[in-house]
Amino acid sequence: MFDFILQLKARNETLFYYGLLCLMAAIVFLVLVRTTNTQVYHVNAWYKPFKFAFSTFTLVWAMAWYCHYLPSFNVNIFNWTVIILLGFEIVYISIMASQGKTSHYNVSSPFYSAMFSMMALAATLVTLYIGYIGLLFFTNSFPELPNYYVWAIRLGILIFVIFSFEGALMGGRMSHSVGLVNDNSNLFILGWSKLVGDLRVSHFIGMHALQVLPILSFYLLKNTKLTIVVGIVYGLIALFTLMQALNGKPFIKSQNNNLTIHQQ
């Protein structure tokens, strides 16, 4: 692990430190979860900035690692695009959480509506940029890398892009829940609804293909065909949870599911 950190810092010092900053912010937000009572959608308001900061940490470290393999790629433009756009999201989400207000789906004023649209634009631009990087992995050859590892990166980015754009589905519905409006539960930090469908499940699974598939392939699978099969299965699992959510079914059902829905 220490060798990985040293190599990552050498590969992309800018994103290394930005990821570290996001990790430290995530830790602060988690402390605030335990020390404050401010709530949004019936859960502690600081869970949302924690999840965004920690997810950004894993995203930028993964991309810092992968971009090192690309020939003739201007990584500095990518670095600062990600830092500015995702940094804007985390800062705004944190400010709104501190006030006990929603950041996403908030169109209660022209200002909040504009900020919600800007967050959507920021996420879209970063996703498109990562999609472009994925295209470079498909169109370039990497003879110095194991073929199975290259395919894991390709499939990881592809699935990430597809399920990142699922955020537009949630934005269009103005809710991450199907059956109730923005329902949350006490399901660990994730907060996925135990009562109705939750679009965040497939969003989470799909986006983290970016880290999961290359790690699995490099350390465990070590085979190109097996990597492709596992990648396809992983994508189908994400798709299944999306269809499950769209049908209004929770990923993990509450034992008092029917009673609680009726009460709400």
Residues 27-45: what's their mean pLDDT?
Answer: 94
Q: Domain extents for the chain?
A: 2-263
pLDDT at 50: 97
CB-based burial label for 48 (10 Å; 0-12, 13-18, 19+) = buried
pLDDT at 254: 75
The closest alpha carbon to 93, from 40, 19, 135, 153, belongs to 40
Residues 170-197: what's their mean pLDDT?
Answer: 92
Residue owning tokens 């003739």: 72
- pLDDT band at 2, cuts 50/70/90? confident
204 and 247 Cβ atoms separated by less than 8 Å: no
Residues 24-30: what's their mean pLDDT?
Answer: 98
Residues 43-68: what's their mean pLDDT?
Answer: 97
Residues 228-238: what's their mean pLDDT?
Answer: 98
For 238, residues 6+ apart whose C-beta sits below 8 A from its C-beta are 159, 163, 202, 205, 206, 209
pTM over 0.85: yes
For 68, residues 6+ apart whose C-beta sits below 8 A from its C-beta are 11, 12, 75
- pLDDT band at 256, cuts 50/70/90? low
Residues 176-203: what's their mean pLDDT?
Answer: 93
pLDDT (tens digit per residue) in 117-150: 999 999 999 999 999 999 999 999 999 999 999 9
Q: What single-letter DSSP state applies at residue 103?
A: S
8 and 64 Cβ atoms separated by less than 8 Å: yes
pLDDT at 44: 94
pLDDT at 257: 52
